[in-house]
Amino acid sequence: MLTANSLIGTTLDGRYFILDKLAAGGFSQTYLAIDTRLPGTPTCVVKHLCPIQDSERAALTAQEMFQSEAEALQELGTHDRIPQLLAYFQEHQELFLVQEWIDGHSLLMELPIGRPMPHVKAIALLEDVLIALEVVHNAQLIHRDIKPANLMRRHRDGAVMLIDFGTVQHYPSSRELPMAIGTVGYMAKEQEVGRATYSSDLYALGMVIVQALTGMPPNQLTRTSAGHLQWKHYLKKRDRIWKRF
């Protein structure tokens, strides 16, 4: 199997020159690259399927999810709020996809712990993300991993883009996969048992907004004995409008 370090400085598919490693996930690595065949050698992102699990079943599941990501990007990627798929290919008997590089920053930078966001900005954030999420749901897709790390603020216009479709699922799904896929704290109860729906994405987005309003990530908030999230006491007096909800 190709390693992260072995790919840096190489050219894939005869055109994508790998500059550096960006991030690693549960079954993939992403890299910053340039397209050497286009004028100006534009920057792009190369994603490499490399599941860390050793079992054949896990590897097959990872491959299916990787292909689903490519298919979802192909279907959705012409939308302004979703990265465009540029290529999908196999090399060295391993799978790669190439997508648009976004010049921006993760919303993690805008949501530091202990610094609540004013409710006006939180409402604007909610409306901005819903633009992309509506497109995803209209295509009968569930993202399943909406969180600050997967929301990018584009520098040129300040728009929020939805990224990382590695956990995307068609709805209703044609195959049973009774397992939790997503990020703890942002997952709704039904998603934790492998039964995600459109409302699961809305729940996750709601948790992002709660995080914005309170300055606290979901895993640091407490729940009542009945399972209700306790967060309103974190709100500042000027944001008491949210006390009604």
Residues classed as catalytic? 145
Q: How many CA atoms lie within 13 A of 114 on its CB side?
A: 0
| Two tokens, residue 242 | 């949210």
Q: In this structure, which long-range contacts are made by residues 50-55, counting pairs with CB atoms below 8 Å and at least 24 apart in sequence?
A: 50/1, 50/2, 50/94, 51/26, 51/27, 52/26, 52/27, 53/27
Burial pattern 95-128, b for ≥16 Cβ within 10 A else e, equals: bbbbbbbbebebbeebbeeeebbebeebbebeeb
Residue 16, strand partner residues: 12, 35
Rounded distance between C-alpha atoms, residue 81 and residue 59, angstroms: 30
Q: Which amino acid is at 174?
A: S
